[in-house]
Amino acid sequence: MLNRRNLLRGLATGMGATSILGAPHAFASRPNFSIKTGGAKRVIFFLQNQGFAPETCIPEGMTESGSLDGVTLPEPIQALDPYKDRMHIITGLHGRHTSPSHSAYFGALGGYRGGIGVAPGGATIDHVISGLLPETIMPHLRLGMDALENMISRPTLATLSASDAGKPLYMHSNPVNLYRLLFGGIATGDVKRRYEARSRVFDSIESLAGQGVDRLPAGERERYSSYVNGFRDINGLRERLHDVSDHLTNFAPEYDERFTQPEFETDWHDALLDIGIASLKAGLTSVLTIGSGRGEIFGSWKGLGITEQGHNLGHMKQPDNPIWVKIRQYNCDMLVRLMQALESMPEGDGTMMDNTLIVYTSNNADKQHTNGANWPFILLGNCSGAFRTGQYTRLTSSRPLNDLYATMLHAIGAPHDHFNVSRAQASQYRSVAGPIEELLA
């Protein structure tokens, strides 16, 4: 018998299970924070897996906080040297309470206990910020970069972002699918035909699947409704994108062989980044989260000439390691591409980059096997003048990464004393009420 449950299961199998099953949380309701922001702001999170060794980001000879003026950046992040005046390097934050080990998973952006198989304990900072900034068509876009075979077999994956406790948010890893979703309505040829065919199917499925939900047992009804709402959300997104189709034609990335005939996984990494850049420039999203390695212990960079991949990379020391130098340089080249793209777009009296904050870190503190005692961050941009730049800050008070996230809330005009830290936990974490003052302008 072809009942609605079997229909959804069959559709998921035939059209990409994780793409469909990820939908219920893809455009979830916004966090319950009051909006206090003014003007256009945006935040980009870029997380590299396997840790971020402090030695690879601290300028040689700098043992204390100070200006970056006149210093030389380490080889792995040398591509950022022209942007030192827009940079803030931070070390000394901790994430011991996130139980990182191989990865803190949701705990990296949530500031709570993470680990493999642990459900998110609450909303992550990227999603919270997306609910505080002026609303966009797709407030929070998430991209995941991995080995090519993993991105094909699991085109969506949830490991880093969450909208609430127990509600993971999926990141997109297949640029072909994501391009069709966002730009299929203005495409031509096969992309357009596939987009229209899928749209007709999704419209029919939403209508059919929604019938008779009230007759299901209460437990089944809630679960089933989440799937129905997923189709409704996707169809609603498609309608919103159609309304701005003329605008989107100015920003859609070139749909070339990197999408359709990737030689290496880095072709898809670059294609995903282009979609992310286009979405920011077009104003489709205000928060972009990029997971290189997708928050796990895997990952591959064969396009950089690196044959080692996955878990083995985490057992290699990062400082002065030519393999990790290449990976970090590749990351920094992506960060430069993001900055240059946003600098090219006028906004107000300046450019989009003037109103942007880029947060570069890892989902696993300083290394793969770690207790999370030192969690480096690099901030790029000042988010409309909120952050100090051109600085290295070495924190010595052992403040948790939650305090950095609370500082970001202050920077966007939504001040909160703590982020995902209760009053009872504050002394245990050594969390101080309010922002980290050394970071704010």
Per-residue pLDDT of the chain (441 residues; tens, 9 = 90+): 334 334 333 333 333 333 322 333 333 333 333 333 335 799 999 999 999 999 999 999 999 999 999 999 999 999 999 999 999 999 999 999 999 988 999 999 999 999 999 999 999 999 999 999 998 999 999 999 999 999 999 999 999 999 999 999 999 999 999 999 899 887 677 777 776 666 666 656 656 666 666 776 776 766 666 656 666 677 778 888 888 889 999 999 999 999 999 999 999 999 999 999 999 999 999 999 999 999 999 999 999 999 998 888 988 999 999 999 999 999 999 999 999 999 999 999 999 999 999 999 999 999 999 999 999 999 999 999 999 999 999 999 889 999 999 999 999 999 999 999 998 899 999 999 999 999 999
SS3 253: coil
Q: DSSP 3-state assignment of 93?
A: coil
pLDDT of residue 191: 74
State residue 205's pLDDT score: 60
**Measured distance CA(272)–CA(174) in Å, rounded:** 8
Contacts of 181 (CB under 8 A, 6+ apart): 234, 237, 238
Sorted by where each starts, the structural domains of the chain and their CATH numbers stand as 31-187+252-439 (3.40.720)
pLDDT at 223: 64
Q: Which residue has the tokens 């931070």?
A: 90
Give the whole-angstrom CA distance, residue 116 versus residue 425.
Answer: 23
Residue type, 131: G
pLDDT at 39: 53
Tell me the C-alpha distance between 142 and 174, whole Å: 12
E-state strands within 64-186: 66-67, 87-91, 140-145, 156-164, 167-172
CA distance linking residue 300 with residue 309, whole number of Å: 5
Q: What is the pLDDT of residue 228?
A: 62
Q: At what angle do helices 175-183 and 189-209 cross, to 10 degrees?
A: 80
pLDDT digits (tens, 9 = 90+) for 201-224: 665 665 666 666 677 677 676 666
Residue 187: CB atoms within 10 A of its CB come to 19
pLDDT digits (tens, 9 = 90+) for 232-275: 677 778 888 888 889 999 999 999 999 999 999 999 999 999 99
Question: What is the pTM assigned to this prediction?
Answer: 0.87
Cβ contacts of residue 40 below 8 Å, gap of 6+?
A: 134, 286, 347, 348, 352, 355
Q: Which two tokens stand for residue 273?
A: 């980044």
With b for 16 or more beta-carbon neighbours within 10 A and e for fewer, the 309-324 pattern comes to: bbeebbeeebeebebb
Instruction: Please return the burial class of 39, using the count of CB atoms within 10 Å of its CB with bins 0-12, 13-18 and 19+.
Output: exposed
Question: Tell me, what DSSP letter sits at residue 161?
Answer: E
The gap from C-alpha 200 to its chain's centroid, in whole angstroms, comes to: 30
Tokens of 129: 């910020």
